[in-house]
Amino acid sequence: MPEKKTPLPIQLFRLTRLVLHTLYGITVAATILPRVSAATRDQIIRGWSRQLLGILNIQVIAKSHIPGEDVRSVMFVANHISWLDIYALNSIRTVRFIAKSDIRSWPVLGWLVAQANTLFIDREKKQDVSRMVETVAKSIMAGDCLCYFPEGTTTDGTELRPFKGSLMQAAIDTNTAIRPVLIRYPKPDGSINTAMAYHGETTLWQSLRRVLAQPRSTVELDFAPPIASTGHERRGLCLMARQSIAARLNLGSPEEREP
């Protein structure tokens, strides 16, 4: 039996609301965010993210070791499934993301992500990775909470790829705890809702259409206990973070080599 889809008129209504909400976000990002304190900026980003997910009828379920606003100077690491991951995380705890440089080219959303104080990295250039490690370390010491997706790409949510651990060095250099986060888009029966994934050859527009077609969706954020970086090498810390997420996704933890 084919899965139930949202009627087209409701999809168009959601799309209209999403466009208006995005225009509102552009206005706020251009005129207000540069002039407010960091705490106020975080509140605005968190509220906007929650409203965006509400427009798309996506419920966020956060569990386990949920961080509060008092959590500072930590590095979240998460598996990566969709462009929605950023807004789901920001709806719970506003963080500064470390993203691939090509996200800047996304229509509209790329600009909004940049205005949210995102750090961009070109993984193909080793010198850029070195620069980013230093930048991330300075950001952590300034009290920022950062988040990056060490798989380096997205999946459909049914697998966990090897982690790229270069940026873990920033946590080690600053004695910063790693906080692994499992991101999961489940169906009501507990299976993985792969329609929510933005991966492979799927375009951003195709992904958005699939999301709009969902009658109601859920994203789970399962926050694992912090992992102290003190006394660990980059590779070991990277494997520990991956194993923590894999255990929550009920995946095995095969040996892997850091690219």
* CA 183/CA 222 separation, integer angstroms: 7
Q: Determine the pLDDT at residue 251.
A: 61
* CA 161/CA 156 separation, integer angstroms: 11
| Percent of the chain clearing pLDDT 90 (strictly above) | 67
Residue 114 lies in a domain: yes
Residue 50 lies in a domain: yes
* CA 81/CA 195 separation, integer angstroms: 10
Residue 259 lies in a domain: no
Least confident range from 41-50, 72-81, 96-105, 213-222: namely 96-105
Q: Give 18: exposed, middle or buried? Use CB within 10 Å, 0-12, 13-18, 19+.
A: middle
Residue 253 lies in a domain: no
DSSP code at position 196: G
* 3-class state of residue 41 by DSSP: helix
- pTM exceeds 0.85 for this model: yes
Provide CB contacts within 8 A for 236, sequence distance 6+: none
Tell me which residue has tokens 């859920």: 218
Residue 1 lies in a domain: no
Residue 71 lies in a domain: yes
Q: pLDDT tier at 2 (50, 70, 90 boundaries)?
A: low
- Across 193-222, average pLDDT: 94
Residue 255 has pLDDT above 50, yes or no: no
Q: pLDDT tier at 207 (50, 70, 90 boundaries)?
A: very high
Q: How many CA atoms lie within 13 A of 32 on its CB side?
A: 13
Q: Determine the pLDDT at residue 104.
A: 72
Residue 195 lies in a domain: yes
Q: Give 206: exposed, middle or buried? Use CB within 10 Å, 0-12, 13-18, 19+.
A: exposed
Residue 254 has pLDDT above 60, yes or no: no
Looking up residue 171, the CATH number of its domain turns out to be 3.40.1130
Residue 233 lies in a domain: yes
Domain that holds residue 101: 8-248
Amino acid at 17: R
Dig out the tokens for 38 from the structure.
């960091």
Tell me how many domains the chain contains: 1
Q: pLDDT tier at 170 (50, 70, 90 boundaries)?
A: very high
DSSP code at position 150: T
